[in-house]
A and B are shown apart, each in its own frame.
Chain A
Amino acid sequence: MPQIEVRDVTLVYDTPSGQVPGVRGVNFAMEASEFLCIVGPSGCGKTTLLNILAGFLAPGSGEIRIGGKAVTGQGLDRGIVFQDFAQLFPWRTALGNVAFGLEMKGIPKAEREAIAMEQLRLVKLEKFAQSYPHHLSGGMQQRVAIARALAYNPAVLLMDEPFAALDALTRDEMQRLLAEVWRETRKTVIYVTHNVAEAVFLADRVVVMTPHPGTVKTQVRIGLRRPRDPLSVEFLEYQKELLRHLTEQTATAA
């Protein structure tokens, strides 16, 4: 049985100017430990889909099952990383942020700090455990956010364009780090991005979405060995293939 099943998920937004379709009839399934990227142009509903997966939004129809159980709201089986650096709690140190989920679970202080420290080591920030977020760079803050989402050991990690607001060099570095973290933790990851190269670098499989209404156009399995070389011919071939799917849909939309 697949770990995550997204079945015919549809959501329509009610706005003052009428109904705006978010996503329509989205279907896909994932195995445990799979890294799935969702790519699509802005407005294709990929963040909406992630918010439904996270339990922030309830789908109008259809359902999502994680480990066989229907998702009905937020839950500790999912860790979430947002794009905005401001997601960290400014009044808590890096360690305090990472330990938050464990604190909510009622794990004793010494134990949760040990676990949080381990997570910070995983994202190479153990030296900054006592720093407050405003003293960290954007990339470091996102690494703390990743450690925070992993700390309470959720089955699934949901990531909404976590590196989109970083400069290109830092983004490359973060992608390598995330690939490493994923190799070590073997989490099931759903990663939303509009960056095709990022999707080819990270994903086992890429779901391409089209806007108006947001639905799955196609799925591409990335059959490259890891670690991946973004300059290899095969890598660029995959990039081209994804871009082709994306431009086709833009042409149809226009």
Chain B
Amino acid sequence: MNAAGSRTQSVRRGAVTLLAAAAVYEVTARSGIFPAALVPTLPAVLQTLWSMLLDGTMLTHAFHTVYRMVCGLALAIVVGLPLGILMARFRAVEQFFLPLVSVFMPIPSLAWVPVFILWFGLGNTTTILVVFYAATFPMVLNAWTGVRSVNPLWLRAAGAMGAEGRDLFWKVIVPGASPFIITGVRQAFLRSFVAVVGAEIIAASAWGLGWVIFDAKEFLNTDVMLASLAVIGCIGFAFERLVFGSLERATILRWGMVRAAKS
């Protein structure tokens, strides 16, 4: 089967799964077991979503969330990627940073939110720093592992052809470690998305998807909460499939460094 055909089929399969889940929810909502205010029907949720999209509030919330996430994630990549690579290349860097990574990595990023609020106040700085904290470790670990797993034959062949310094780094080590680096960015994204919504619930004021969910709880606006959750899911899905999916297809899949699943 050609690639386009299998793509359409996977979209169709995904749609079937989602529709089945929606049907189960809808039946539950209409069964009368739970109060309608707590479990609104899907049409009610969709209507709320639609009106929030129309008046622009949902887009503004989403924009704030994505903005904070992208800032924190970019910061994490800028710091974590070079740090991981340096740790793999220089023993002194590894010996200095590895204990720090081991100590700080297991601390949930959200546990830092109250501390960061005291230090940096409510708002963007705190949220971005929490995202940065959450995303840095997967980036560091994957870059570190990736560089250490570069095939030594590539290094030998490159060395025999006179590659050293920057050339060796950019043209051999980075592409050689790219399956891990891409996985690292992917994991960093997932962690940062979880962190940004969590941090907004605690630390944001007035805007952001996490904040809107928390705010809606005060007024029992379950439809607003569910509509926001749907938007969070859609944004995550879009990043995961479009951004990282295309990145993979353009690089490591094309180079045969990883393979698509057989069936």
How many residues on the B side are at the interface (Cβ–Cβ under 8 A)? 22
Q: Mark B151-163, 1 if CB is under 8 A from A, else 0.
A: 1011011111111
The answer for the CA separation of A103 and B166 in the assembled complex, in Å, is 13
Stretch in B31-39, B69-77, B254-262 with 4+ CB within 8 Å of A: B254-262
Q: Are A82 and B153 in contact (CB under 8 A)?
A: yes
- B251: nearest chain-A partner, CB-CB: A91
Main secondary structure of the interface of B (DSSP, over half): helix
Q: Is the CB of A89 within 8 A of B172?
A: yes
A91, A132, A148 — which one has the most chain B CB atoms within 10 A of its CB? A91
Given A84-B153, A89-B154, A91-B251, do A105 and B257 touch, yes or no (CB 8 Å)?
Answer: no
Give chain B nearest CB distance to A128 CB in angstroms: 14
Q: Whole-angstrom distance between the alpha carbons of A165 and B163 in the complex? A: 27
Interface residues of A in 77-106 (CB under 8 A from B): 78-80, 82, 84, 86-87, 89-91, 100-101, 103-105
CA gap between A174 and B50 in the complex, in Å: 67
A104 to B159, CA, bound (A): 10
B160 adjacent to A90 (CB under 8 Å): no
Most buried by A among B159, B172, B175: B159
A-B contact number at CB 8 A: 68
B178 at the interface (CB under 8 A from A): yes
- Verify A101–B162 contact, CB threshold 8 A: yes
Residues in A with CB closer than 8 Å to B162 are 74-76, 101, 104-105, 152
- A91-B257, A132-B255 given; A74·B160 CB < 8 A: yes
In whole Å, how far is A19's beta carbon from the nearest beta carbon of chain B?
Answer: 23
0/1 interface trace, chain A 100-121, chain B, CB 8 Å (1 if under): 1101110000000000000000
- Tell me if A133 counts as interface (CB < 8 A to partner B): yes
| A and B contact pairs by CB, cutoff 8 A, 30 listed | A54-B156, A56-B159, A74-B162, A76-B161, A76-B162, A80-B157, A82-B156, A84-B153, A86-B151, A86-B154, A87-B154, A87-B156, A87-B157, A89-B154, A89-B157, A89-B176, A90-B256, A91-B255, A91-B257, A100-B158, A103-B167, A104-B161, A132-B254, A132-B255, A132-B256, A133-B256, A135-B256, A148-B157, A152-B161, A152-B162
By a beta-carbon cutoff of 8 Å, the part of chain B in contact with chain A is 151, 153-154, 156-163, 167, 171-172, 175-176, 178, 251, 254-257
